[in-house]
A and B are shown apart, each in its own frame.
Chain A
């Protein structure tokens, strides 16, 4: 079992809708969680990070963390075609390196 599990998608949503991306992780000791966006052939770009249980909002993005369920999610409100990309979930392990999931491909239909 991978340390970080994500549905590979593609997740297809219409423009203006809410896109919900989910991620589960296996390391109960994990404290820091990250969402990166990656366009094809480009480098990952940090979208959000979250440390505490609950929600964290930044513009159209909301990260949600539930440590008891070992679950982290990313909501994208008012989805735009430019949001179409692969979204990588990651956690920071005990040696401070990021462990990535395989990513969820999001497709926002105009």
Chain B
């Protein structure tokens, strides 16, 4: 079965650089979520999209932006990177009407040096 695909798996950037993370949801899933997970912490909700429209926004810094495209893939753009942005970034997708939770991608490990 198709899963949530994230790329890249690992990313190393320097401070003040820009990073773009990509997410391809499970086919026919209508909702995409982005989470950030620091070392030893629980996943923190960043932003979500439902049918290509932003549906909710969490603790996402102004330096970050995201969008969902016509093919339902989503990108998280992170600018002016800081050391504290180093974390695992997970994308998840769901079919909202089922209410059966969501499926996570394998994540992107971002290291800012």
Interface residues of A (CB under 8 A from B): 32, 34, 36, 41-46, 49, 51, 88, 90, 92, 95-103
Separation of A100 and B101 alpha carbons in the complex (Å): 12
CB of B91 to closest CB in A, whole Å? 9
Contact among B55, B102, B105 for A98, CB-based, below 8 A: B102
Chain A residues, CB < 8 A from B41: 102
CB of B81 within 8 Å of the partner chain: no
User: On chain B, which size bracket covers the interface?
Assistant: 20 to 34
Are A43's CB and B105's CB within 8 A? yes
Are B58's CB and A97's CB within 8 A? yes
Are B106's CB and A42's CB within 8 A? yes
Contact among B45, B99, B105, B106 for A97, CB-based, below 8 A: B45
In B40-59, which residues have CB < 8 Å from any A CB?
A: 41-43, 45, 48, 55-56, 58
Q: How many A-B residue pairs have CB under 8 A?
A: 53
Are A99's CB and B45's CB within 8 A? yes
Are B104's CB and A43's CB within 8 A? yes
CB of B96 within 8 Å of the partner chain: yes
Chain B residues, CB < 8 A from A96: 31, 55-56, 94, 96, 99
Are A97's CB and B101's CB within 8 A? no
CB of B88 within 8 Å of the partner chain: yes
CB of B1 to closest CB in A, whole Å? 13
CB of B55 to closest CB in A, whole Å? 7
Separation of A43 and B58 alpha carbons in the complex (Å): 20
Separation of A51 and B100 alpha carbons in the complex (Å): 10
CB of B24 within 8 Å of the partner chain: no
Separation of A103 and B99 alpha carbons in the complex (Å): 22
* Best-buried of B41, B96, B100, B102 by chain A (most CB within 10 Å): B102
Chain A residues, CB < 8 A from B43: 44, 88, 100
Separation of A50 and B90 alpha carbons in the complex (Å): 23
